[in-house]
Amino acid sequence: MRRSSKWMGIVLLIALCIACLIWYAAIREDRHGLLTVTFLNIGQGDSIFIDAPSGRQVLIDGGPDSSVLRQLSAVMPWYDRSIDVMIPTHPDADHISGLIDVLAHYQIGLILQSSVLGSTATWHTLEKDISQEGAQIVTGQRGEIIDLGKGAYLEVLSPDRPLPNAETNTACVVTRLVYGNTSFMLSCDAPKEIENYLVRLDGKALRSDVLKAGHHGSKNSSSPLFVGYVDPTYAVYSRGCDNKYGHPNQETIDTLAKFNIPTLDTCKDGAITFVSDGETVKRR
């Protein structure tokens, strides 16, 4: 009799623990109508994590190494081992190396691929891993829209055609994240020529609350024309502190200063998070 009541106690304790875990997960999963965008602190490179109001998650690029895993563990719950959408914007190592580690640790639902072909061993490894992931694969091309649910979506602005043999930065996948009246311009390493081409195509529709300064603040991106049309409230440099390229370039710093745009910098600020309620974007 005494033994059965002891077992009953253990079963009740286990049931209570499971109920607590489900309760914790349910609270954690409710986004309360908020979109969260984090520019991860992965050193010299890009990696952007999006947590949509629906709970759908997107990872744009994975930085230069496995440091992306530690960064993801800070923005995702420990029990979450899947990411809905992955976007390798182009084959350069500072954008895709970390994605090899991400594919090894997370289940990916959809991969929006750049059409440009790489030539490095890293790119070939990523291609092999992507082909074995079992994810839906879509080529990132202008007009493609990824619905993130509850009014949030990602639209591909560039390239406007498949560019398998183009220079990698020129062909990188430029996206604009939209939620209600707020938006984020995520312009990978696109050079000024592409930025100015987008101004001709989209004009005032480029306006966004946050601009990821193209190509880590290189002088080859952030043309005054493009920055003027995007007209962001904040600009972000995604870069490593001791990068050998001198990013951000003084020319880019001067352009953003001329437009009175406050800048944030993953080197100085670490991971940078913005939260949108669909009306305003605030830094967290």
Per the CB < 8 A criterion, the answer to whether 115 and 138 are in contact is: no
Binding string, 106-135, against Zn ion, x = CB under 5 A? ------------------------------
CB of 218 to Zn ion, least distance (A): 8
Helix (H, G, I), strand (E, B) or coil at 217: helix
User: Binding-site residue total for Zn ion (CB under 5 A)?
Assistant: 2
CB of 44 to Zn ion, least distance (A): 8
Q: Which one of 73-81, 173-181, 183-191, 275-283 is the stretch in contact with Zn ion (CB under 5 A)? A: 183-191
DSSP3 helix / strand / coil % (the chain, rounded to 5): 35, 25, 40
7-10-13 Cα angle (round to 5): 150
Pick the piece of the chain touching Zn ion (CB under 5 A) from 13-21, 88-96, 159-167, 226-234. Answer: 88-96
* Torsion-angle region of 82 (φ positive above 0: left; ψ -120 to 50: alpha; else: beta): beta
Candidate residues 51, 61, 84, 94; the one interacting with Zn ion per rule CB under 5 A = 94
For Zn ion, the closer CB: 168 or 276: 168
Please report how close the Cβ of residue 50 comes to Zn ion at its closest, in angstroms.
Answer: 19
Smallest distance, Zn ion to C-beta of residue 169, A: 7
Tell me how far apart the terminal alpha carbons of the chain are, to the nearest angstrom.
56
- List the strands of the sheet with 234-237, edge to edge: 145-149, 152-158, 174-179, 182-186, 210-212, 234-237, 263-265
d(CA 69, CA 104): 10
Is residue 61 within the footprint of Zn ion (CB under 5 A)?
A: no
Q: Which CB, 83 or 188, lies closer to Zn ion?
A: 188
CA 158 – CA 166 distance, rounded (Å): 13
CB of 114 to Zn ion, least distance (A): 12
CB of 76 to Zn ion, least distance (A): 24
Q: Which of 51, 61, 84, 189 binds Zn ion (CB under 5 A)?
A: 189
By rule CB under 5 A, what string of x and - marks binding of each residue 30-49 to Zn ion?
A: --------------------
The string of DSSP codes covering 93-105 is: HHHHHHHHHHHHH
User: Which residues here bind Zn ion, judged by CB under 5 A?
Assistant: 94, 189
